[in-house]
C-alpha cells in the first residue's frame, strides 16, 4: 500500500509590488504605469501594510526568509517610505536571521545617498535593470538611461555598501548582432556583479512592440548568441542555474530559488501574486487588485481572487517551477511540497525519460539538455 507522505509547510517569502516607472518601456508587459508628478508613496505604504494584515493568517508562525521589492521601479520610492514599510512588515512577521532583501532599481534613478540609505535599512541585494550598454539599443528599448549611467549604477551600488547585486540584461534585441550581444555581456561581467539575469527579449501582447514589431535577429543568430553567451559567462565563473539566471558561487537569488522550489510567498501590492499552503496540505494561488488607483481606493478590497489548486494540477504546477532549474530538485521535494506520493508522477515520468527529456535518476527530478530546450513539450505530459 502507498503511504501518504507527510506534507511540510515550505519556507515563506514576501513579494512587494511597486507599480510605477518614470515611463513605460515599449516591450514591457509587467503591471507598471508611468508615474505622475506626485508619487503617492505614503498612501501606498499604508495600503501595503493593510494588505499584509489581511494575509497574516497565512504565515503560520514562519519567519520571512526573503523579501523582494519588484516592479515597476521600486527605486522611485524614498528610503523613508521603504523604511516605514520594512519596519511595519517586521512588526507583523519576524525576519529570519539571514534574510535576503532585494530591491529592483533602474539606473536612471540612482542617487548615491538614497542607495546608501536603502542599505542602512537592511536591504542587502540590488537588482539593477540595465538591459544593454549600447546607446542605440537603449534608445530602441525606450530606456531612460544611457550605457554610462548603467556602469555608474554598478559603481554606486558598490560604494553604497551593496556587495551583492544583480544586473538584468536582455539579448535578441532589435538588429542585435552576435558581437553586440557579447559586447554587452563583457561590459556587464567587468562590473563583477554577483548575479546576472540574461533574458531573451520576447514580444508580448499589450505592448508597443506587439503593435509595432521591431526587426529582431534571425533564429540562427539567436541560437549563436545563446551558445556563445553561456560559454562566456561560464568562463568568467557565472554558473547557469536556471533558464535565464547565472550566479557566482553561493550567490544564487534566494528569493527566486524559493519560487523555483515551490516555496510559499505572500504577494502584496497592486496585482501581486502569492502562493500559499496550509498545514493540512491545501495549496492556493492568490492575486491582488491590479490597477494602482483601484488598489489605493479604500472602497475596494486588496484581494482580487484566490484559487485552491486541485490534486490533478499539482504535478504540473510543481514541475513548471523546479524544471526551470538546471539541476532540477531532489525527487523527495515533490512529496514534501505537494503532499502527494512520488508514484503520482510515475507514468508521465517514465514517458518523458523514455523520450530523453528527463534524467533517468530515481533520486532527482531534472530535465536533460533536450528537456530544457523543449520545456513546454516536456510539461505537457504532466497536464491534468
Position 111 contacts ligand SAM (CB under 6 A): no
Out of ligand SAM, ligand SF4, none, which partner does residue 170 contact, by CB within 5 to 8 A per kind?
ligand SAM
Question: Residues 310-349: x/- map of binding to ligand SAM (CB under 6 A)?
Answer: ----------------------------------------
- Considering only residues 239 to 258 of the shown chain, the ones binding ligand SF4 according to CB under 6 A are none
Q: Taking the complex as a whole, how short is the minimal distance between the CB of residue 24 and ligand SF4, in angstroms? A: 5
Q: In degrees rounded to 5, what are phi and psi of residue 84?
A: -65, -40
21 binding ligand SF4? (CB under 6 A): yes
**Angle of helix 79-92 versus helix 112-120 axis, rounded to 10:** 10
Number of residues that bind ligand SF4 (CB under 6 A): 11
In the window 55-114, what residues touch ligand SF4 (CB under 6 A)? 71-73, 106
Q: Note whether 271 binds ligand SAM by CB under 6 A.
A: no
- In sequence order, the 6+-apart residues with CB closer than 8 A to the CB of 373 are none
Where in 7-46 is the site for ligand SAM (CB under 6 A)?
A: 27-28, 30
User: Contact region for ligand SAM (CB under 6 A) — 47-55, 86-94, 198-206, 258-266?
Assistant: 198-206
Provide the pairing of β-strand 303-308 with 283-288: antiparallel
Contact 222, 172 (CB under 8 A): yes
> 24 is in the binding site of which of ligand SF4, ligand SAM, none (Cβ under 5 to 8 A by kind)?
ligand SF4
- Which residues make Cβ contacts (< 8 Å) with residue 109, sequence separation at least 6? 22, 73, 75, 76
Q: Which is nearer to ligand SAM, 109 or 277 (CB)?
A: 109
DSSP state of 240: E
Q: Distance between alpha carbon 61 and the CA centroid of its chain, in Å?
A: 25
Contact 100, 125 (CB under 8 A): yes
- Cα–chain-centroid distance for residue 248? 18
- Cα(191)–Cα(193) distance, integer angstroms: 6
Contacting residues for 123 by C-beta, under 8 A, at least 6 apart: 69, 82, 86, 101, 102, 103
Using CB under 6 A as the binding rule, whether residue 126 contacts ligand SAM is answered as no
Query: What DSSP designation does 289 have?
Result: -
Nearest-approach distance from CB 195 to ligand SAM, in angstroms: 13
Q: Please report how the helices 41-55 and 79-92 are oriented relative to each other, as an axis angle in degrees rounded to 10.
A: 10
The one segment of 46-54, 196-204, 248-256, 340-348 that binds ligand SAM by CB under 6 A: 196-204
| List 170, 319, 352, 367, residue binding ligand SAM (CB under 6 A) | 170
User: Quick one: 126 or 366, whose CB is closer to ligand SAM?
Assistant: 126
The C-alpha R_g of the chain, in whole angstroms, comes to 21
Q: Identify which of residues 25 and 272 has a Cβ nearer to ligand SF4 in the complex.
A: 25
Query: Does 100 engage in binding with ligand SAM (CB under 6 A)?
Result: no
Neighbours of 190 (CB within 10 A): 12
Q: How far is the CB of 70 from ligand SAM (least distance, A)?
A: 6
The residue to which cell 507522505 is assigned: 5
Q: Minimum distance between the CB of residue 195 and ligand SF4, rounded to whole angstroms?
A: 17
- Of the CA atoms within 13 Å of residue 359, those in its CB half-sphere come to 17
Q: Which of 10, 16, 32, 276 binds ligand SF4 (CB under 6 A)?
A: 32
d(CA 203, CA 215): 11
168 binds ligand SAM, rule: CB under 6 A: yes
Q: Which of 25, 35, 89, 153 binds ligand SF4 (CB under 6 A)?
A: 25
In this chain, which of 8, 54, 112, 202 binds ligand SAM, going by CB under 6 A? 202
When asked if residue 73 is in the footprint of ligand SAM (CB under 6 A), the reply is yes
Whole-Å CA distances, 98 to 90, 101, 254: 14, 10, 11
271 binds ligand SF4 (CB under 6 A): no
Instruction: Assess 104 for contact with ligand SAM (CB under 6 A).
Output: yes
Alpha helices in 35-145 (DSSP H): 41-55, 79-92, 112-120, 135-140
Residues that bind ligand SAM (CB under 6 A): 27-28, 30, 70-71, 73, 104, 106, 129, 131, 168, 170, 199, 201-202, 204
Residues that bind ligand SF4 (CB under 6 A): 21, 24-25, 28, 30, 32, 71-73, 106, 129
Amino acid at each position: 500500500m502507498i503511504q501518504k507522505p507527510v506534507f511540510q509547510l515550505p519556507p515563506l517569502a514576501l513579494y512587494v509590488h511597486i507599480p510605477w516607472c518614470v515611463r513605460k518601456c515599449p516591450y514591457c508587459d509587467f503591471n507598471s504605469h508611468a508615474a505622475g508628478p506626485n508619487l503617492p508613496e505614503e498612501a501606498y505604504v499604508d495600503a501595503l501594510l493593510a494588505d499584509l494584515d489581511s494575509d497574516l493568517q497565512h504565515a503560520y508562525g514562519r519567519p520571512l526568509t526573503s523579501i523582494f521589492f519588484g516592479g515597476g521601479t521600486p527605486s522611485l520610492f524614498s528610503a523613508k517610505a521603504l523604511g516605514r514599510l520594512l519596519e511595519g512588515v517586521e512588526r507583523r512577521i519576524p525576519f529570519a536571521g539571514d534574510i535576503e532583501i532585494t530591491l529592483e532599481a533602474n539606473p536612471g534613478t540612482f542617487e548615491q545617498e538614497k542607495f546608501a540609505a536603502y542599505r542602512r535599512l537592511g536591504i542587502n541585494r540590488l537588482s539593477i535593470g540595465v538591459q544593454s550598454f549600447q546607446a542605440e539599443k537603449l534608445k530602441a528599448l525606450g530606456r531612460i538611461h544611457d550605457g554610462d549611467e548603467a556602469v555608474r549604477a554598478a559603481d554606486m551600488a558598490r560604494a553604497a555598501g551593496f556587495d551583492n547585486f544583480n544586473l538584468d540584461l536582455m539579448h535578441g534585441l532589435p538588429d542585435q548582432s552576435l558581437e553586440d550581444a557579447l559586447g554587452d555581456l563583457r561590459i556587464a561581467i567587468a562590473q563583477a556583479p554577483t548575479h546576472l539575469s540574461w533574458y531573451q527579449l520576447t514580444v508580448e501582447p499589450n505592448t508597443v512592440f506587439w503593435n509595432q514589431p521591431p526587426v529582431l535577429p534571425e533564429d540562427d543568430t539567436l541560437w549563436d548568441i545563446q551558445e556563445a553567451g553561456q560559454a562566456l559567462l561560464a568562463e568568467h565563473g557565472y554558473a547557469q542555474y536556471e533558464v535565464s539566471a547565472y550566479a557566482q558561487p553561493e550567490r544564487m537569488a534566494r528569493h527566486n530559488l524559493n519560487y523555483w522550489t515551490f516555496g510559499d510567498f505572500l504577494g502584496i501590492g497592486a496585482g501581486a501574486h502569492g502562493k500559499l499552503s496550509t498545514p493540512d496540505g491545501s495549496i492556493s494561488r492568490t492575486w491582488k487588485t491590479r490597477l494602482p488607483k483601484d488598489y489605493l481606493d479604500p472602497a475596494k478590497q486588496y484581494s482580487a481572487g484566490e484559487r485552491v489548486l486541485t490534486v490533478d494540477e499539482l504535478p504540473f504546477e510543481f514541475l513548471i517551477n523546479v524544471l526551470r532549474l538546471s539541476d532540477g530538485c531532489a525527487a523527495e521535494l515533490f512529496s514534501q511540497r505537494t503532499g502527494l506520493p512520488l508514484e503520482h508522477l510515475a507514468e508521465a515520468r517514465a514517458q518523458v525519460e523514455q523520450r530523453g527529456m528527463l534524467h533517468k535518476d530515481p533520486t532527482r527530478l531534472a530535465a536533460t539538455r533536450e528537456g530544457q530546450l523543449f520545456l513546454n513539450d516536456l510539461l505537457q505530459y504532466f497536464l491534468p
